[in-house]
């Protein structure tokens, strides 16, 4: 019961005041100078609820009931900040390229950056409570070019835990590349039984000769018995050549040189602060 995965009525926000705070340590010297230190980059919210013009029925159904079921100050619940509830600005519909996620082991934490994206001292919010059905995911390749990773196939290419905000990609499918054609849509030879389907996405690296293609992430347009055709125009690239050893590979999963991105609507995890 430590956290109820449900939200309090959105009407609760009307008439309420919201204060966003940061943990700042301030030291003042004898000459009046101040030295300030940001203890951590994550904001916290203090909500002063307004109950004016609320009927007794509303208060019991939405406030008292939640208070009882959460054990007073013990349990948390979701709250939608009406002034900031999406990763795209504050209220605009989210897109897959809104925010850079932070790697957390083999998973990726959804984050909303309020400073320079990815900066160690940038203020940010860890999105622990994304709204189910609102999450969209992308990958920026080595050059920062974004691609949306759609999730309309089975098994799914990724899943998101809406109780933690962690995105998990399905197991990687890596294949060795033995040839790439020079064409408006490059045909890549990856061997029989490759397991790719049209609509999959692959990152290309380690290619000799046609080095211009390295670091790009492509969408597979069609597949053959041992080939995949991707949306990369390689007609002006240098011809593919085989090196020894051959390090040319296609990878479906995000690579360390890439950035996973995400967008969503989100709630704030809160609890009652007074009895």
* 3-class DSSP state of 165: coil
Mean pLDDT of 1-23: 76
Please give the pLDDT value at position 178.
97
Q: Label the pairing between strands 76-79 and 266-271.
A: antiparallel
Please give the pLDDT value at position 108.
98
Please give the pLDDT value at position 51.
66
Q: Label the pairing between strands 76-79 and 3-7.
A: parallel
* 3-class DSSP state of 213: helix
What is the number of alpha carbons within 13 Å of residue 164 lying toward its C-beta? 10
Confidence of residue 15 (pLDDT cuts 50, 70, 90): low
Please give the pLDDT value at position 1.
53
Task: Identify the burial level of 48 via C-beta atoms within 10 angstroms of its C-beta, where 0-12 means exposed, 13-18 middle and 19 or more buried.
Answer: exposed
Higher pLDDT, 205 or 65: 205
Residue 263 phi/psi, 5-degree rounding, is -140, 155
List alpha helices for 8-61, DSSP H: 56-58
Question: In the structure encoding, which two tokens stand for residue 85, read together?
Answer: 């509830």
Summarised one tens digit per residue, pLDDT across range 210-228 is 999 999 999 999 999 999 9
Residue 176 phi/psi, 5-degree rounding, is -75, 135
Confidence of residue 49 (pLDDT cuts 50, 70, 90): confident
Please give the pLDDT value at position 14.
60
Give the whole-angstrom CA distance, residue 68 versus residue 57: 15
State the DSSP H helix or E strand holding residue 65, giving kind and residue range, or none if neither. Answer: helix 65-69
Give the whole-angstrom CA distance, residue 94 versus residue 265: 7
pLDDT above 80 for 9: no
Q: Where in the chain is the domain with CATH 2.40.30.180?
A: 174-251
Summarised one tens digit per residue, pLDDT across range 98-130 is 999 999 999 999 999 998 898 878 899 999 999
Please give the pLDDT value at position 251.
98
- DSSP label of 64: I
Is 89 within 8 Å of 129 (Cβ atoms)?
Answer: no
* Residue listed under structure tokens 């932070």: 102
CATH of domain 174-251: 2.40.30.180
pLDDT above 90 for 200: yes
Give the whole-angstrom CA distance, residue 18 versus residue 46: 6
Question: In the structure encoding, which two tokens stand for residue 173, read together?
Answer: 């499918």
pLDDT above 60 for 85: yes
Instruction: Tell me the average pLDDT of the chain.
Output: 91
Residue 269 phi/psi, 5-degree rounding, is -75, 125
Please give the pLDDT value at position 222.
98
Torsion of CA 122, 126, 131, 136, to 10 degrees: 60
Summarised one tens digit per residue, pLDDT across range 232-249 is 999 999 999 988 888 999
pLDDT above 90 for 274: no
Please give the pLDDT value at position 11.
64
Give the whole-angstrom CA distance, residue 94 versus residue 133: 11
Please give the pLDDT value at position 189.
98
Mean pLDDT of 147-172: 93
């Amino acid at each position: 019961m430590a956290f109820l995965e449900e939200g309090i009525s959105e009407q609760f926000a009307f008439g309420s005041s919201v204060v966003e705070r940061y943990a700042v340590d301030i030291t003042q010297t004898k000459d009046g100078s101040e030295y300030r230190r940001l203890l951590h980059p994550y904001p916290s919210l203090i909500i002063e609820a307004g109950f004016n013009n609320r009927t007794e029925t509303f208060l019991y159904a939405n406030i008292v009931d939640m208070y009882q079921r959460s054990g007073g100050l013990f349990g948390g619940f979701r709250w939608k900040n009406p002034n900031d509830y999406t990763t795209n600005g504050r209220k605009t519909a989210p897109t897959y390229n809104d925010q850079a996620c932070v790697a957390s082991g083999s998973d990726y934490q959804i984050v909303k950056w309020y400073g320079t994206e990815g900066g160690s001292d940038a203020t940010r919010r860890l999105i622990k409570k994304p709204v189910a059905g609102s999450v969209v995911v992308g990958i920026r390749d080595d050059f920062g070019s974004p691609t949306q990773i759609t999730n309309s196939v089975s098994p799914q290419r990724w899943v998101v835990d809406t109780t933690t905000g962690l995105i998990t990609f399905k197991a990687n499918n890596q294949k060795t590349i033995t040839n790439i054609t020079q064409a408006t849509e490059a045909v890549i030879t990856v061997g029989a039984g490759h397991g790719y389907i049209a609509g999959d996405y692959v990152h290309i690296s380690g290619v000799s000769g046609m080095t211009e293609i390295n670091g790009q992430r492509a969408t597979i347009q069609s597949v053959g018995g041992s080939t995949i055709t991707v949306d990369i125009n390689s007609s002006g690239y240098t011809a593919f050549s085989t090196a020894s050893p051959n390090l040319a590979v296609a990878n479906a999963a995000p690579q360390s040189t890439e950035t996973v991105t995400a967008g969503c609507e989100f709630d704030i995890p809160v609890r009652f602060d007074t009895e």
